[in-house]
Structure 1
Amino acid sequence: MHKVLGSFNVAAVLRRLVLTLFAVLVASVAAVSVAQANPKYAGIVIDAKTGKVLYSENADSLRYPASLTKMMTLYMVFEALEAGKISLNSKVPFSANAAKEPPSKLGVGTGRSITVEQGIMALVTRSANDVATALAESLGGSEQRFAQMMTSKARSLGMTKTTYRNAHGLPNTAQMTTARDQARLSIALRQHFPQYYGYFSTRSFRFGKQTIGNHNRLLGQVRGVDGIKTGYTRAAGYNLATSAQADGRSIVAVVLGATSGARRNAQMTNLVQRYLPAASSSRGGGNLIVKNDTSVAPAQATASLGGGNVPSLPQTGPLPTVRYSGVAQAYAASPAGNAASAALETMRPVAPSATPAVPVPQPAPAYMPDSGAAIAPAAPTQSVAAASTMPPDVDAVTTASTTPSSGWVVQIGTSPNKDLAMDLLRNAQEKGGKVLRSATPFTVAYGDGAQQIYRARFGGFDEQKDAVNACNALKKKGIGCWAAAQ
């Protein structure tokens, strides 16, 4: 009897042991299956004020950028605008090569042209491949040469694992990047070009009879999101680079290789909602860093290359701070390649020569110190939606005052957010010291709805020379600015 019971007990124990091992094996296989369900996925979230990595998964693994490529295309366009090589109204012709690019596209025929500003809007909203190629050919002389320029610029920004072969992101097995590199580029776009960054929050724009909507569905849906760019190809999966700012906190986040647009958006929404509240709320920035320009000049190119420096971010230090904010104005790190010794960049923005054909936000007209003449202000393409002014103490905001109605102003940048525009004013005031002691800081909102942007300005200059002298003094302090008639 005891032998029977003993045998029964042993058998039961063995059976339970086998079942347990089987369950563990099934769970392990299931876990591996989940982990391998989407081998393309990579993601990262970075605190844009401190450079701290808040979340990372496969952040340094090579992936295809798809249309995130157009972020670098736009960086090159903004750099050319800032350097005065082109204006928002410069014509961008379409070659047969550009016109034949597959969708998404604007559909501009061979031999026709659009303005640079229309091109910016088409890349931001529709992610138009034909426009990307046309801009590349205009700025680089050829698409291949422009891709070399893009790669050089990527290296100068510390994007050490990114290689570009075209300007649009259509499939090319050699065109690779990482989530970390795309986060760097996102920060660079936002902080280097605040006067143009507002384009990324555009929800729609009109081109001819078309109303073109933005592919980025998070705009207006997720609190704090103000851009930047979506992307998709079959090989890449669904990509999204996002900037979010709220309550004095600021992050950039990148998702690469999602299996659907809905899952990509859900993942990004989760990342923003989880990590934005965890980001730093301090006003502090990183090191003052100088940005160098290389001497490389492509044939027929109208844009200047920047580069030479490789910031050691975000692994080892703070991110570059806003160049126009007064906290910092440019990059710095060890020069790379044949770059010259570090020197502050001279910025010469050019105003539109005429009213653009599409109703989109545009920077204020600029005074060109080299020319000795002011560029006459162009009529805004959108009505002024609102204006708020501040006394010399920027923190003491008053809405009772009115925007200066005459004289000259000094504009230091634009922002899609009023609070951020005020931060630009506050930081410029702190940095500028006596240069702005008697000036009146104020913001002016242009456009309405999703296309509204805020211009950060200092008024109270009676004469053109007073505004120009103030702007030149600010530039010596590292603050980019324009002088314009009010």
Structure 2
Amino acid sequence: MGAIVRMGLAHLAGPFRLSRKIVPVFLVAFALVVSAAGGASANPKYAGLVIDAKTGKTLYADNADAYRYPASLTKMMTLYMVFEALSSGRISLGTRIPVSRKAAAEPPSKIGLRAGGTITVENAIKALVTKSANDVATAVGEFLGGSEDGFARLMTEKAHQLGMSRTTFKNAHGLPDSRQKTTARDMARLGLALREHHPKYYGYFSTRSFTYGGRRYGNHNRLLGRVKGVDGIKTGYIRASGFNLVTSVVDGNRSVVAVVMGGRSGASRNAHMTDLLRRYLPKASTGRDRLLVADKGGTPAFVAGMIPGNQVPLPTSRPQAPAPVVTAYAAETAATVPMPLVEPKRPPQPVDPVRTASTTAAPVTAAVQAEPEPQPAAGSRLPSGWVVQVASMPSDAEARAFLDATKDQVGTLLAQATGFTETFEKGGVTYHRARYGGFASKDAAWDTCNALKRKGISCYAVAR
């Protein structure tokens, strides 16, 4: 190693004259780069990948498809799920996330959330990006998924929809779990998906620092501001994984996403990443951008019932006989009971409970037992027959606004339908169903719902 470094310095002595003060600093940096690059193949935890972000072409790969532990790279998917909820309007940056005892008790890295408190979605994003806070990650997972286990299943399903076929998530933060695995290629794909699918929120990854509770937290990604063109994304470390880093670079007309996993130290990982960018960014395309990561499945169907203000799930098959609600949803959610997000300190309750249509259907947990369909009041002019439901909202105004926005989005598809709202109460909390009526038959309602799904709007048809 010493000989290699001396040769490197001798090679640079011709075109550059290095002062005595600079030589020791350069010697250390050069040694780190050579050590990282030369020792990568000898490191059993190492994996590396550089992808042209315009074409998807692999510019460099080493163990790119071998299983590795993601550590805090997991939070990239946690943030993807947050961005997806923001983009769909199910939450806002000002929405407050309740903090459970479990979340508050997570080990560092953390920002010291207190059980029973709350944190806004925007502060949660910044805490995940900069401090990589485990307490925040758990709070987010419980908020969006009803439980962290439920959220992990959503994360895994979303990963597979994005083409990350070798990735499994078991928690929202990346703390040790031998079943939580991924690959460098899957992490690069997630990095691309974050850039492509959520450009409105991707800029949070370039946040240099974040102040919360009177304390300032710097970003763990040391390449920000030090390597030209780096705009994120995420670092990670547990003992089993080594030091991980996913980096996005946009420099002029060229752009790459690069992954280094299994570094022996943060410094050597950063030096190796810097060297990969130096070598392979010039080889990237200068052509037009292409959409490289298609979201094949859209929002997982059973996430719809978890948050007030979101869409409700579309059953997978038509019922053979009229039923208050189709059984497909109950069977689909038997393992993951959808929970709403309500004000802090209230026990979570189902947003829109689902009941089975026959005694042979798969059993559903008590948390999602039948809620009778509301009966119209005497003299009510609400539509009868088959209706299509698109949302359950915490207020009538939000439900009506959602109806208007949906109608605007789909053009003539709902031109002849009548939007209306109905309330139901569960656990002392009142919710407002957003529905369309005026369908001549069950088939007409189902056909409309299928057409809405093709436009990315979840729904279900029900007789009232």
Q: State if a TM-score over 0.5 links the two structures.
A: yes
Alignment of structure 1 residues 186-335 onto 2, 5 Å: 186-286=191-291, 291-293=296-298, 294-297=300-303, 300-301=306-307
Alpha-carbon separation, structure 1, partners of 2:257 and 2:69: 19
In structure 1, what is the Cα distance between the partners aligned to 2:110 and 2:312? 27
Q: Distance in 2 between matches of 1:50 and 1:225?
A: 19
One-letter amino acid of the structure 1 residue matched with residue 301 of structure 2:
S
What's the secondary structure of 2:59's corresponding residue?
strand
Q: CA offsets per residue over residues 342-393 of structure 1, 9 Å max, x none?
A: xxxxxx9xxxxxxxxxxxxxxxxxxx78557xxxxxxxxxxxxxxxxxxxxx
SS across alignment from 1:297: helix
Runs of 4+ in 1 over 4 A off after TM superposition: 33-36, 286-291, 301-306, 368-372
Taking a change above 3 Å as real, the CA distance of residues 288 and 158 of structure 1, as seen in their structure-2 partners, is closer
Give yes or no for the alignment of 1:92 onto 2:97. yes
Unpaired stretches in structure 1, ≥5 consecutive residues = 1-32, 307-347, 349-367, 373-477, 479-486
Using the size of structure 2 for normalisation, the TM-score is 0.58
2:20 corresponds to which residue?
A: none
Question: Which has the larger helix fraction?
Answer: 2
| Deviation for aligned residue 1:290 | 6.7
Distance of aligned partners of 1:199 and 1:286 in 2 relative to their CA distance in 1, 3 Å threshold? closer
SS of the residue 1:63 aligns to:
coil
1:152 has 2:157 as partner: yes
Shift of 1:296: 2.2
1:139 to 117, 133, 144: 144
**Take 1:204 and 1:185, find their aligned partners in 2: how far apart are those partners?**
23
- Distance in 1, Cα, partners of 2:205 & 2:151: 22
Residues 316-358 of structure 1: CA distance to partner in whole angstroms, max 9, x if unpaired?
A: xxxxxxxxxxxxxxxxxxxxxxxxxxxxxxxx9xxxxxxxxxx
Q: Secondary structure at the match of 1:276?
A: helix
Kept in 1, the 8 Å contact 2:189–2:293? The answer is: no
CA deviation after TM superposition for structure 1 residue 34, in Å: 5.1
Q: Once the 2 structures are TM-superposed, how far is the Cα of residue 208 of structure 1 from its aligned partner?
A: 2.3
Partners in 2 of 1:106 and 1:187 — Cα distance? 28
The one-letter amino acid of 1:297's match is: V
Aligned to 1:122, the other structure's residue is in SS state helix
Q: Residue 418 of structure 1 corresponds to which residue in structure 2?
A: none
How far apart, in 1, do the equivalents of 2:179 and 2:311 lie? 25
Alignment of 1:27-426 (within 5 A): 37-286=42-291, 291-293=296-298, 294-297=300-303, 300-301=306-307, 370-371=403-404
Which consecutive residues of structure 2, in runs of 5 or more, have no partner in the other structure?
Answer: 1-37, 314-390, 392-400, 406-454, 456-464
CA displacement at 1:211 relative to structure 2? 1.0
Alignment check: 8 A CA contact 2:56 2:292 kept: no
Whether the aligned pair in 2 keeps the contact of 1:49 and 1:280 (CA below 8 Å) is yes
Distance 1:87 1:245 in 2: 28
* Structure 1 position 285, deviation (Å): 2.0
Partner SS for 2:48: strand
Structure 1 distance, partners of 2:77, 2:95, is 19
Q: CA RMSD of the aligned region, Å? A: 2.7
Q: Distance in 2 between matches of 1:370 and 1:176?
A: 41
Q: In structure 2, what is the equivalent of residue 444 of structure 1?
A: none
Structure 2 distance, partners of 1:58, 1:216, is 23
Residues 14-29 of structure 1 correspond to what in structure 2 (within 5 A)? Answer: none
SS in 2 for 1:206: strand
- Between the two proteins, what is the percent identity of the paired residues? 60
- Shift in alpha-carbon separation, 1:119–1:235, aligned structure 2, 3 A: same
Deviation of the 1:91 alpha carbon = 0.5
Relative to 1, partners in 2 of residues 1:180 and 1:304: Cα closer, same or farther, differing over 3 Å? farther
Per-residue deviation at 1:300?
A: 3.6
CA contact (8 A) 2:90 2:307 kept: no
The whole-number CA distance in structure 2 between the counterparts of 1:233 and 1:287 is: 30
